[in-house]
Structure 1
Amino acid sequence: MALAQRVEDADRGEAHHAPAVASALRTIGTERDGLACLMEAVGNGLGDAFTAAVALISGARGRVILTGMGKSGHIGRKIAATMASTGTPALYVHPAEASHGDLGMVQPEDVVVALSWSGETTELADIIGYARRYRVGLVAITSNTGSTLGREADVCLTLPKAREACPNGLAPTTSTAMQLALGDALAVALLEARGFSAREFGIYHPGGRLGASLRQVREVMHGGGQMPVVPRGTPMRAAIAEIDAKGFGSVLVVEADGRLAGIVTDGDIRRNIFRNDLDALNVEAVMSTKPRTVGPETLLAKALEIQESMKITALVVVEDGRPVGLLHYHDLLRSGVA
């Protein structure tokens, strides 16, 4: 194909994609404006209702039951998943299925969080009635405080009116973005109120790279007889033999009482390889006296950050100043975090 033809085709392609890009920018901008309105609302009157919702859910002995129809239902499922993964037991109940037996999933000690932009979703009627009859806590997420859902709720989180990104003003776009953001805000406020730790987060996320990064150093470090260790005063020849035997490219040097004194690495040996008296030296003459250390409870993600930022391959794991393990970069690779 001639160069002129290829340029002409490329120009046509660029022109073809320009409307799509403009559409994307309009959509994102419209949703951004909706989130800005939501932030302003939370900073004003909505903040009091939000605080009340957090208190109601935190004080419940049961679970959070998310429910909603259509797009609101999909958002409800995501909020339930986020809450469950951050220490707030939660599940989604489809409102139509609730009317055919799934109301048995809702118990008096639970709190129902119902999503409906209009607040008049027909399918929510039975679960709202059930919550009122059996004194189940009810939180509404709606744009209409005066709706059936808004009036019946113990706490009504009223979303500000905002223009949908859909050019017809019909497809839920900005509205669902605000629902999702408010649901995330609830989940985060609840985990902060509970003091939910990264360690607990790891319990609920054992799979994949995220799960690996939330494991602790003690789970993958080499300890006991696997550690390359020599006492202070050891000749370098013996120290090198220990490095070769254990295969970590380094050896830990300890005081007579077991406290960490330093580390001799392959790099230390290379920097001294041309010394005529290397064989006659003790480890003190070559070792680094301030090796990088971590505690056994350190998260693997943090250990990886230290190794990569310091450009080192091994970390000494210490407790009370004494080495209890060695963590090599290869251990992080095998764990899946690197």
Structure 2
Amino acid sequence: MSTVTKIVPFGSGGRIAETARRTLSIAAEGLNALENQFSDREFSANFLRLVGVIMNVRGRLIVTGMGKSGIIARKMTATLTSTGTPAIFLHPADAGHGDLGMITPDDVVLMLSHSGESNELGPIIQYCKRFAIPLLGMTARPHSTVAASSDICILMPDVKEACPNSLAPTTSTTIQMAFGDALAIALMEMRGFSADDFHKFHPNGRLGAQLVKVRELMASGGDVPRVEEDASLLDATIEMTRARLGGTAVVNGKGELIGAFTDGDLRRTVTGTRHMNEPVGRYMTVQPVSVSPEELASEALRLMHDHNITLLFVCEKDRLVGAIHMHDLLHAGVA
């Protein structure tokens, strides 16, 4: 007898898997219903009004919701904040105990409630009406208190819950989450929110590392190994040893990158009949791979992998401005 059979009295592992599949199928139906809502003229118009109000708010977007809707509201707040829309979560249970004071006349409130009738939302609705704070509602009930009280109401599709008792919020919270992402991305694109802006809000962790630019990690100034093309192999070797990057740039009189000489080039040179007083220009790699300081560090790492090298020189309009080693990229968490 399998372990699954022992702990699940109602059937086999196949039935459990079918339940999971059915849950996902119902969720997909809910997402399709939400997508289809955008074909409705009134829904689309309300969405555009919602975006316009949030875009023009002088203060912050106060996002609120109770229970499972509150959890979705927290996630929505985090996504909005990280993509350029100043937002903060207000817990309805705390609102009536002093936290209403966080709402200023410059703010706008976005209220999530599937039923539109959570009692805890009452004080926030009253406060918004008393002080003329714009109230944006998200609910599936067109005749609910939230819908009637909202200046702009987004009517979510009344979807089937995956719960067999139609009680536990499942599909309804899935589409709330998806709508929050759609709203955040729409606002993000309208603001022209770039990868640079995103990195300002995500400087740490793996995600931040993928958005770091070459200029933030490269060696510059006197730390960049360089010799001119008439320098001797000995001079080039000394320069490589000084910088400890495994190679040196070869530049012309204008400081433009014209070649590279690496440890590998040196080994291949000294194993032949070459004399160390010969000019490095004869043995350098012509037109070496280089990268712009404004390029993403992840792109620099890709170039290294593609060309099987560990050192890239950084140029602005052919002029050498820096050098970056694979170790610098890996140490910074770039992958």
**TM-score (norm. length: structure 2):** 0.91
Distance 1:39 1:272, change over 3 A: farther
Pick the aligned partner of 1:312 from 309, 314, 317.
Answer: 309
Kindly indicate whether residue 197 of structure 2 is the aligned counterpart of residue 200 of structure 1. yes
* Paired amino acid for 1:24: A
Aligned to 1:169: 166
Kindly indicate whether residue 263 of structure 2 is the aligned counterpart of residue 290 of structure 1. no
Find the residue that maps to 1:230 and give its secondary structure: strand
Find the residue that maps to 1:201 and give its secondary structure: helix
How much does 1:335 deviate? 1.4
User: 1:124-146 deviations in whole A, cap 9, x for unaligned?
Assistant: 12111211221111111111222
**Bigger mean CA offset, 212-221 vs 276-285:** 276-285
Aligned to 1:5: none
**Bigger mean CA offset, 18-27 vs 70-79:** 18-27
Pick the aligned partner of 1:125 from 101, 115, 122.
Answer: 122
The 2-side partners of 1:280 and 1:335 are apart by: 38
Aligned to 2:50: 53
Find the residue that maps to 1:277 and give its secondary structure: coil
Distance 1:93 1:263, change over 3 A: same
The 1-side partners of 2:187 and 2:294 are apart by: 25
User: 1:144-198 deviations in whole A, cap 9, x for unaligned?
Assistant: 2222211221211111121111111111010000001101111111111111121
Distance 1:230 1:177, change over 3 A: same
Pick the aligned partner of 2:256 from 246, 254, 259.
Answer: 259
* Paired amino acid for 2:223: Q
Q: How is 1:1-338 mapped onto 2 (pairs within 5 angstroms)?
A: 16-45=12-41, 46-270=43-267, 272=269, 274-277=271-274, 279=276, 281-338=278-335
Point out where structure 2 has 5 or more consecutive residues left out of the alignment: none
User: How many positions carry a matched residue from both structures?
Assistant: 330
RMSD: 2.1
Distance 1:51 1:282, change over 3 A: same
Distance 1:122 1:211, change over 3 A: same
Do 2:64 and 2:111's aligned partners in 1 also have CA atoms closer than 8 Å?
yes
* Paired amino acid for 1:18: G
The 2-side partners of 1:49 and 1:319 are apart by: 48
* Paired amino acid for 2:23: T
Distance 1:141 1:228, change over 3 A: same
How much does 1:272 deviate? 4.9
Do 2:4 and 2:13's aligned partners in 1 also have CA atoms closer than 8 Å?
no
Point out where structure 1 has 5 or more consecutive residues left out of the alignment: 1-7
The 2-side partners of 1:100 and 1:10 are apart by: 50
**TM-score (norm. length: structure 1):** 0.91
The 1-side partners of 2:62 and 2:110 are apart by: 6
Find the residue that maps to 1:43 and give its secondary structure: coil
The 2-side partners of 1:67 and 1:198 are apart by: 28
**Bigger mean CA offset, 143-152 vs 180-189:** 143-152
How much does 1:43 deviate? 3.2
**Bigger mean CA offset, 67-76 vs 93-102:** 93-102
Aligned to 1:4: none
* Paired amino acid for 1:155: I
**Bigger mean CA offset, 20-29 vs 73-82:** 20-29
How much does 1:336 deviate? 2.2
Distance 1:281 1:10, change over 3 A: farther
Distance 1:278 1:138, change over 3 A: farther
**Bigger mean CA offset, 141-150 vs 247-256:** 141-150
